[in-house]
Structure 1
Amino acid sequence: MARDTRPAVAPAAASAPDATLTGRVTRALAARTAVTLAAGVGVAVGTGSAAWKGLEHQARLAAERIGLAAEPPPRRDGVYLPDGRFRRLPTVPRNLSRLRLAMLGDSSSAGFGAADEDFLPGVMLARDLSARLYRPVQLSTHAVVGTGAADLARQVEAALLDGVDVAVVIVGPNDVRDRVAPAESVRALAAAVARLRTHDVVVVVGTCPDLGVITPIPAPLRQLAGYWSRSLAARQEQAVHRAGGLAVPIGRWVSPGFVGHPELFSPDLFHPSGEGYARAVAVLSPAVLTGLGSAVSAAVAAVPEFPASRLPDGHRSADAGGGRSG
């Protein structure tokens, strides 16, 4: 099946045919994940071996276990005000400067699986930042369902064209799915971070989630998926730091909490639910505040393993205002 390169957008109220189509796309993506992972092992062990046949069977079982998404992912880009109000048009009170937030990456950044606009990761993040910084936050979502790090270059240029002060990136699972060479995936991510940093954009990257917590993928295929995703995340973290961004290890800080909590998954049992996305936002927001150099970034102290000593020099010296006014 060809990769879905359309932006992850849809009207708030989707028709039944659209919901069915999106469910099929979700199921196909999940099936492709399992089959491709099994194929990667098959190359190593030989497609005629008993091990390969067992993994192939597990891949088919995983595809059957993945449920259907209830509706297409919603979208609510616009301006979020400190008092909680929302405006679709990019207009803000004259006495307040806006912070421009861009969501880049794949379905995890777009919020695929969240049934309600209020639980999209970009929306939750924009609201939290607006309340903490007491300034309007303009949200723009450029993330695309089904893509990998190779698509970041296009997304970055779109974000720069719109204007951006803070970019949040979540990417990686689809590169694991497609067995993209880790070095190639990490190189594309690092280039995207470096490009944004040349424009003084604060960049926060949520590294690849741990695919080992997705129970519809049976063992031992699930363990292999977990190993590959954790390995990619470790490389991403190092590359992002070298490129001047801030890396948030989603696989270490968030993914373990999904084990034994089906309510954190969407109906497809593959993507997070709105509540699951809230767990990710809880660790992404402090990192953004740290990157902006705001006084309220002290909240990051509540997040383990995020010492200020690991921040690039440009982030440590950022002024309290953070970002550029629009």
Structure 2
Amino acid sequence: MSGWSRKVGADSWAWGRVCRDVGATAAATAAGASAGWAVWNYLNGQAATARTVIPHRTDNAPDGDGVYHPDGRVTRYTRDTEVDLFLTVFGDSTAAGLGVDTADETPGVQVARRVAAETGKTVRYANKAIVGATSKGLAAQIDAMFIAHERPDVAIILIGANDVTSRNGIRASARRLGDAVRLLVGGGAKVVVGTCPDFGVITAIPQPLRTVLRQWGLRLAAAQRAAVRAAGGRSVPLADLMAKEFRAQLDFMLSPDQYHPSAAGYALAADILMPPVLDAIGEWGSAPLPEPPEESPAVEESRVATALRRLLKQV
């Protein structure tokens, strides 16, 4: 659920594009040009309200890079350090773990610690994610690592929310993610991707803007899933698997900024990511992996959501 905090503190051009397109679709399918203009104004006003509710984050996530040992120790990595597994995380502020106070609470560190404890392996962990990143920045994150002559054994990617708030095209965003997965797989990595989260749980975003973003995010997640599979990665539908828990315990699952996950929210993400990560490195065993739903559940129905659905089919 990254990126909103950064985007809402910036100019509203991205929201203008979203609202303009929703308004245009509503005008074409509902009550004409005047209705479309009303939708545009209404959603743009809601975006302005949201910017006053969700703080503009300029800080970075806690740094958890290091070597994680089966006995719980954490040591500094050097070129001479011998490790059994190199785990990296790419993506946006959710991947980095923005919203928590300590490195141990970030999703990448939680996964690294659990992999070390459950497999007995010494795990080097490196966070390459950048706060505010979209799919457009994934290739640069990976290239920077390759230039340093580093190749991960397993990579986790969490990306998508900023593509929604930036109104990046769904097909183009999914294609860029697929290219990033293909690049990592070509470098010898096993890749696990957490697809776009569910904006519907962020109650600080007013309705119907929240439904607009949720529709967009769910369609992006579906496109990401197909692109990741085609590129040889494993996809994890975070929107489907996390939304119920977030809605049931929203104050517990969100950080004080009411947008990024809390330590508990990131722990839930780590729980969900662990089975495919262990399976990717051959440590899951003979038990079948949990089966995620094939399609996202239906979202709230409204005239705006229906208009947006028609629009997104063209993106």
Q: TM-score band (shorter)?
A: 0.7 to 0.9
The alpha-carbon deviation at position 72 of structure 1 amounts to 3.9
Counterpart residue number, 1:311: none
1:293 to 276, 279, 282: 282
Which residue among 242, 247, 255 is the counterpart of 2:230?
242
Contact 1:82 1:134 in 2 (8 A): yes
The answer on whether the counterparts of 1:115 and 1:273 sit within 8 Å (CA) in structure 2 is: no
1:58 paired residue among 39, 46, 59:
46
- Indicate the SS of the match to 2:8: helix
Deviations 1:208-260 (A, max 9, x none): 10112111110100001000000000000011011100000001001332114
Instruction: Give SS of 1:162's match.
Output: coil
Correspondences of 1:26-105 after superposition (within 5 Å):
27-32=5-10, 36-37=14-15, 39-45=17-23, 49-67=37-55, 72-90=60-78, 97-105=83-91
1:33, distance to aligned residue in structure 2 (A): 9.4
CA distance in 2, matches of 1:227, 1:105: 21
User: Does the 8 Å contact 1:66/1:268 carry over to 2?
Assistant: yes
Equivalence for 2:297? none
Rounded to whole Å, the distance in 1 between the matches of 2:143 and 2:293 is 29
Say if 1:79 and 1:86, in contact at 8 Å, map to a contact too: yes
User: Cα offset for 1:69?
Assistant: 5.6
Contact 2:92–2:159 (CA under 8 A) maintained in structure 1: yes
For the residues of structure 1 that align with 2:112 and 2:6, how far apart are their CA atoms? 31
Contact 1:34 1:217 in 2 (8 A): no
- 8 Å Cα contact 1:123-1:139 kept in structure 2: yes
- Please give the alpha-carbon distance, in whole angstroms, between the structure 2 residues aligned to 1:207 and 1:26: 16
Matches within 5 A, 1:101-250: 101-160=87-146, 161-250=149-238
- The secondary structure found in structure 2 opposite 1:279 is helix
Deviation at 1:192, TM superposition (A): 0.8
Name the CA shift for 1:159/1:255 in 2 (closer, same or farther; >3 Å).
farther
Q: 2:230 matched to 1:252?
A: no
Deviates more, 1:103-112 or 1:150-159: 150-159
Unaligned runs of 5+ in 2: 25-32, 295-315
Q: Distance in 2 between matches of 1:152 and 1:28?
A: 18
The 1:206/1:267 distance shift into structure 2, 3 A limit, reads same
Q: Distance in 1 between matches of 2:286 and 2:239?
A: 22
How far apart in 1 are the matches of 2:4 and 2:134? Answer: 16
Equivalents in 2 of 1:27, 1:187: separation in Å? 25
The code of the aligned residue for 2:124 comes to Q
- TM-score, length-scaled by structure 1: 0.79
Aligned partners of 2:109 and 2:45: how far apart in 1? 39
Q: Secondary structure at the match of 1:269?
A: coil
Runs of 4+ in 1 over 6 A off after TM superposition: 91-94
Q: TM-score, normalised by structure 2?
A: 0.81
1:51 Cα deviation (Å)? 1.6
CA distance in 2, matches of 1:38, 1:223: 16
SS for the counterpart of 2:191 is strand
Answer whether contact 1:290 1:297 (CA < 8 A) is retained: no
Asked whether the equivalents of residues 4 and 165 of structure 2 are also in contact (C-alpha less than 8 Å), the reply is no
Read off the aligned partner of 1:105 and give its amino acid letter. Answer: G
Amino acid at match of 2:8: A
**Hey, what's the Cα distance between the residues in 2 that align with 1:124 and 1:290?**
17
List per-residue Cα deviations over 1:65-105 (Å, max 9, x = no partner): 114669642111010000000001247886xx420001001
* Deviation at residue 115 of structure 1 after TM alignment: 1.5
Q: How many residues align?
A: 280
User: Which SS does the other structure have where 1:167 is aligned?
Assistant: strand
* Structure 1 match to 2:254: 265
Contact 1:79–1:92 at 8 Å: present in 2 too?
no
Shift of 1:193: 0.7
Distance in 2 of aligned mates of 1:33 and 1:201: 38
Query: In the aligned structure 1, how far is the partner of 2:22 from the partner of 2:239?
Result: 26
Amino acid at match of 2:272: V
Cα root mean square deviation, aligned:
2.6
Deviations 1:141-171 (A, max 9, x none): 1100101111111111233332210000000
C-alpha distance after superposition, 1:35-61 (max 9, x if no partner): 734531223425972221111111111
